[in-house]
Structure 1
Amino acid sequence: MGCASSKTSDSKANRVARWSSTGIVALRDSKLKTFPDEILELGRGVRTVDLTHNKIVDIPVEINKLFNMQRLIIADNLVERLPMNLGKLQSLKIMTLDGNRLTGLPDELGQLIRLEQLSVSRNLLTYLPETLGSLRNLKLLNASNNQITYLPESIGSCFALEELQANDNSIDDLPQSVCNLIHLKSLSLDNNKVKQMPSTILKECVALQSISLHNNPLSMDQFQQMEGYGEFEARRRKKFDKQIDSNVMMNSKGLDPGVDS
C-alpha cells in the first residue's frame, strides 16, 4: 500500500511540476467531477486549461486566481453556471464551453475585454447578455444549438466580430445593430425562425462573404431583393472562385447564399 501511495504522490507531483513548467493544464477524459484544486494553486503560472469531456458541474469562484490564463476550455461537461467573478480573468482570449448545461451567462462576461473567441454551443441558453457588446476584441461567437430567441442589440458594438454562428435556435429576426459589424465575414443562422433581415445588412456589412439561412421562413426572393445583394454576391463569388476545383460542385451548400425558398 505504501508503494502505491508513493507512486500516486510522485505522479501528482510530476504532473503539477509539468503544468508549472509549461503553463498548460490538459486533463481531457479524466473522469473529473470537480475542478482540481491543484490547478488553482498554480495561480498566475497557468496559461491554458483544457478539461474537455469530464463531469464537472461547478467552476469555483477561486478561478479568479488564474488571472494570466489565456485559454479556458471546459467543453462536454455538466457545468450549469459560471461564477460571477469570471470577469476578473482579464487575460482570457479564448473560452470554449460547448456541450454543457448553461442556462445563462453572467453580465460580468463583458469584463473579458481581451476575449477573441467565445463558444457556448450545445447548452440551454435562452439569451445572451447585453454586456456582450463590451467585447470589442471578439472575432468569433458560436452560440449554436441553444434556445436563444433573439440576439442583443449590443452585439453591434462587437466591432471586431468576423464570424457569428447561431444555428439551431429560435431567433426570429436580427437587431439593426448587426449592420455595424463591418468586419463580419460569415453569418450562420440555419434552423431558426428568421423571417426578415435588417434591410441594409448586405450593403453595410462590407466584408460579408457567407450567409447561411437554411430552414428559415425567409425566401430566396426576399433575400435577392435586399439592398446590396449584388455587392454581396460579388464578394461571395470572389471568395469561392479561389476554392473551386474539379471536386467542388457548384450547387453545394457552401456555395449558395443559404436561403431556402
Structure 2
Amino acid sequence: MEDGGGTADPSPPPVITIQVKFSGRTIPISINLESTIKDLKSVLQPLTNVLPRGQRLISKGKVLLDTMTLKDSELSEGSKLMLMASQGLHQGDGPITKEASLPSNLKRTIDAKRTTEYDKMKMKAPVDKSRSERWKLTGVIALSEYQLMTIPDEVWACGPSVRVLDLSNNSIQEISVKIGSLSSIQKLFLNANDILDKCISWEGITSLKSLNILSLSQNHLTTLPSSLGALASLTQLHIANNKFTSLPIEIELLTQLQILTASNNRLSSVPSSIGNCRSLIEIDLSSNLLVELPDTFGDLHNLKALNLSNNGLKSLPSTLFKMCTQLSALDLHNTEITMNLLRQFEGWQDFDERRRSKHQKQLDFRVGFSAEFDEGADKN
C-alpha cells in the first residue's frame, strides 16, 4: 500500500510452526520462514542436547543444507522434519529422548524396593559391637556396597572419632542433620546413592569444618546451597552425574579447593567468582550445557587439567593459555571450538609444547614399564 507516493515498509516474513521428530517424540518449533537451517539447528540444540554439527535434518527424504532458508527448503506451516543425531556430538548428559533410560542409582532404588522383607530387616540390622568399637579406634567407617537404605545409628554414636565415612554405592536417600555430629570428619563419600534435595541436610554437612573431600556424585541433586562456601578446608569436591543447573557464587570461598568434578550435570554457566579458587589444579566440566566460560578462568594459575568435552562451547577465555602457565591437559572433544581458533590465542604455542611434552612422557613411561610392548604395536 502506497502513502503519498512512497512505498510501504515490506511486511516481515511469516512465522511458521514445523514439527521435528526426534527419538520418539515430536518437537513443535515456531520460526521465521527466512531463517536458515543452521538457525533452526541452533534452536533445536537446547531442546535435544545435540550440537548443531551433530544434527542432520531430513525433509521428504532429502538432507537440508545449513545455508538454505526454510523457504528455499520448501518448508511451510505444519511441515514435518526428521532429526538424526550423530553419535557423540551432544552436550549435557546425552540426547533428550522421549523415554530416557533410568539412571543406575534410580534403578537401584527400584530394585531395592523389590527385596524381601527379610532382606530389608537385614539391611537395617544393628552393626555388631566389635565393629562399632573398631570404627571408633581407627576413625574409619567403610560401608560401601552394603545395600543400605538408611545410615545405621551406630555411625552417629561414633561422633568426633570418625575421620573417614564411606557410604558409597548404596541406596541411601536421606542424609540427616546428625551428619554434623561427626565433627572431626575429613573425608565423606556419599556417591552413588539415591539422595534427593529435600532429603539432604546441608546444615549438617556445611558444619563439618575439617572436611577435605566431599563426594556426592551419582545422586539426584539439583541445587548446591550458598552455605557450601563454609567448607573452607575442602580440597576436593565431586558432584558429577547429578542434575545441578548452577554453582553458587560462594564457591569463591573454597580457596583450598584443588579438584572440582562436575561432569554430567545441567550447568549452563559457571560463576565468575570461580577465579578466586586459585588452588584449583583439575576441573572437569564435561557433558554439561556450557556455551561460554568466564574470563576469570585465566586467574587459575595452578590449573593443570581442564575437561570441557561435550559442551556447546564456541570459544575460550582469552587469557586462559597466557595466564594458566601450568595447564598441560585440555579436552575439547565434541565442542564447537576448532584448532584454527585455538592457534589464535596468545600463549597457545607454549601450551601446545607442554601438552606434547606430557604426552611424550606418558608414552615413555608405558614403553619402559609395559612387558607386552611391541615396537610395531603402533602399526596395528
TM surpasses 0.5: yes
Equivalent AA in structure 2 for residue 83 of structure 1 = S
Partner residue of 1:39 out of 151, 155, 164:
155
Task: Tell me whether 1:25 sits opposite 2:144 in the alignment.
Answer: no
What secondary structure sits across from 1:25 in the alignment? strand
Query: What does residue 130 of structure 1 align with?
Result: 249
**Are the counterparts in 2 of residues 33 and 55 from structure 1 also a CA contact under 8 Å?**
yes
What secondary structure sits across from 2:156 in the alignment? helix
What is the Cα deviation at residue 238 of structure 1? 2.3
Residues in 2 aligned to 1:136 and 1:72: alpha-carbon distance in whole angstroms = 19
Task: Tell me whether 1:51 sits opposite 2:167 in the alignment.
Answer: yes
Task: Tell me whether 1:77 sits opposite 2:196 in the alignment.
Answer: no
Residues in 2 aligned to 1:197 and 1:187: alpha-carbon distance in whole angstroms = 12
Equivalent AA in structure 2 for residue 56 of structure 1 = I
Alignment length (residue pairs)? 242
Query: What does residue 356 of structure 2 align with?
Result: 237
What is the Cα deviation at residue 248 of structure 1? 11
Residues in 2 aligned to 1:189 and 1:241: alpha-carbon distance in whole angstroms = 22
- The list of structure 1 runs, each at least 4 consecutive aligned residues, that deviate by more than 6 angstroms after superposition, is none
Query: What does residue 165 of structure 1 align with?
Result: 284
Equivalent AA in structure 2 for residue 237 of structure 1 = R
Which segments of 5 or more consecutive residues in structure 2 lack a partner in the other structure? 1-124, 368-372
What is the Cα deviation at residue 241 of structure 1? 2.4
Structure whose alpha-carbon radius of gyration is higher: 2
Q: CA RMSD in A?
A: 1.8
Query: What does residue 222 of structure 1 align with?
Result: 341
Equivalent AA in structure 1 for residue 131 of structure 2 = R
Query: What does residue 68 of structure 1 align with?
Result: 184
What is the Cα deviation at residue 221 of structure 1? 0.6
Query: What does residue 7 of structure 2 align with?
Result: none
Query: What does residue 67 of structure 2 align with?
Result: none
Equivalent AA in structure 1 for residue 298 of structure 2 = C
Which segments of 5 or more consecutive residues in structure 1 lack a partner in the other structure? 1-7, 253-261
What secondary structure sits across from 1:14 in the alignment? helix
**Are the counterparts in 2 of residues 35 and 60 from structure 1 also a CA contact under 8 Å?**
no
Equivalent AA in structure 1 for residue 353 of structure 2 = A
Query: What does residue 298 of structure 2 align with?
Result: 179
Cα distance 1:248–1:235, how it changes in 2: closer, same or farther (>3 A)? farther
Cα distance 1:248–1:172, how it changes in 2: closer, same or farther (>3 A)? farther
Higher share of residues assigned strand: 2
What is the Cα deviation at residue 240 of structure 1? 2.1
Residues in 1 aligned to 2:173 and 2:349: alpha-carbon distance in whole angstroms = 49
Residues in 2 aligned to 1:180 and 1:115: alpha-carbon distance in whole angstroms = 19
What secondary structure sits across from 2:362 in the alignment? coil
Moved more, 105-114 or 82-91: 82-91
Q: 1:80-159 residue pairs with structure 2 within 5 A? A: 80-81=196-197, 82-85=200-203, 86-159=205-278
Residues in 1 aligned to 2:167 and 2:206: alpha-carbon distance in whole angstroms = 20
Residues in 1 aligned to 2:272 and 2:150: alpha-carbon distance in whole angstroms = 36
